[in-house]
Structure 1
Amino acid sequence: MDHKDWIKIYPKVIDPNVCRNAVLKADTSDKMMRWDDGVPQYNILNISFLADQGDHEWNAIQQQIVPIIQWSAHEYMKELDCEKFWAAKNNLEQIKLNKYNVETGDNFGLHIDVGDADSAKRFLAYKFFLNDVEEGGEMEFPQVGLKIKPQQGDVVLYPPGWTFPYSDNAPISNDKYELTTYLHYQ
């Protein structure tokens, strides 16, 4: 098996209306936080927290995403024949929405999603693209020569550790919106 076989793309798994609603709601939210310390540079919104606080619209969006998370994890296990090694007990990290602005050149340079004891419980990463980005904005895994163009409704699953460093390149044509979450060991 090739190293890049562990990176899976499941196309068009989110209803376009859910994607559009999430983008519109994010753009009107006063809860968006800015990460701007050089790298990374983007906006982030914890939609699970807002849903838990009684925001019915974010709750409805989250309820549309969770079954896709479950389905895609099952597909991933089957395709990679790793069911016997799968964490029998696991749970889900809060779902966050990231917005990468064209105007400010937002990006997240080469990094991994597990970097300390707190994040070491992550064993599978999810990135859901909420909109198409015609130019730039790719999710890039340079060690395996893979660039993934953001396409509305697609989800990318990948191992979050040190063997899969990647970057979120700056979008050029239009802002990029994505949801991220992780499966955790329990």
Structure 2
Amino acid sequence: MTGLSHYIRTYSGALPDGFCEQVVQQFESDPSNQTRNGGSVRAGLSESSWLEMDLSDFTGFNFRNVILNCLRHYKSAYEKDCGIRPALPDAGDLAPLVVKRYDPGGADRFQPHFDSIGEVADRYLVFLWYLNGVDEGGETEFVDLDIRSRPETGKLLIFPPFWMYRHAGRPPVSGPKYILSTYTLW
């Protein structure tokens, strides 16, 4: 029998370093479109805080095409690596492409949660790209499975969004953490 950890996969170098740097620069160059999210905004996230920006409609540096091609490629690799048959639905419908920044100092984090509930129950896979490396802290921790994924530039983390995959974004210590995330939708 396959355990739950089998369906948590990472792919190093999924996005080129230069592309990741461009996404971070785009985020930082447009503070008027950055919004605070977490406990001060959303119920149930009292211990969470981060800045985010929706880049779904951003057209610069071929952003959307690069992300969609990467997503299709690694969705297929994920299905193969996990032995998923028949294949999951095509990745045609996506949730927004959101960049998040977690600042060091302890306040920015994402408390243990899962990603498919209520109004977002149509999600079936999480795609989370780390846009920079963090030497200390900032791991994505699957709190019930004793698994941690360390932020490394360009690394992609894929996993199911359901309650068995409760995870947390730990506070970065040595510097800010940037991620880009989306979800494939049923």
TM-score of the aligned structures, taking structure 2 as reference length? 0.90
5 Å matches for 1:126-145?
126-145=127-146
Residues 17 and 154, structure 2, Cα contact 8 Å, conserved in 1: yes
Task: Give, in whole Å, the separation in 1 of the partners of 2:73 and 2:24.
Answer: 23
- Given that 2:91 and 2:184 are in contact with CA atoms closer than 8 Å, whether structure 1 keeps it comes out as no
Map 1:63-142; keep pairs closer than 5 Å: 63-84=65-86, 86-87=88-89, 90-103=92-105, 105-116=107-118, 118-142=119-143
Where does residue 150 of structure 1 map in the other structure?
A: 151
Segments of 5+ residues of structure 2 without an aligned counterpart are 41-45
2: CA distance between counterparts of 1:89 and 1:15? 21
Q: Secondary structure at the match of 2:163?
A: coil
Aligned residues of 2:105 and 2:172 also touching (Cα < 8 A): no
- The question of 1:47 aligning with 2:55 is answered yes
Q: Secondary structure at the match of 1:163?
A: helix
Determine the structure 2 residue equivalent to 1:22. Answer: 23
Q: Equivalents in 1 of 2:4, 2:106: separation in Å?
A: 33
Identity in percent: 22
Report deviation, 1:85. 5.4
Give the corresponding residue for 1:32. Answer: 34
2:163 maps to 162
| TM-score (normalised: structure 1) | 0.90
Moved more, 98-107 or 145-154: 98-107
**Equivalent residue number for residue 7 of structure 1:** 8
The residue identity in structure 2 corresponding to 1:154 is K
Aligned residues: 178
Counterpart of 1:33 in structure 2: which amino acid? T
Quote the Cα distance in structure 2 between the aligned partners of 1:26 and 1:132.
Answer: 16
Uncovered stretches (5+) of structure 1, i.e. residues with no partner:
none
Q: How far off is 1:83 after superposition?
A: 2.8
In 1, the alpha carbon distance for the partners of 2:136 and 2:99 equals 20
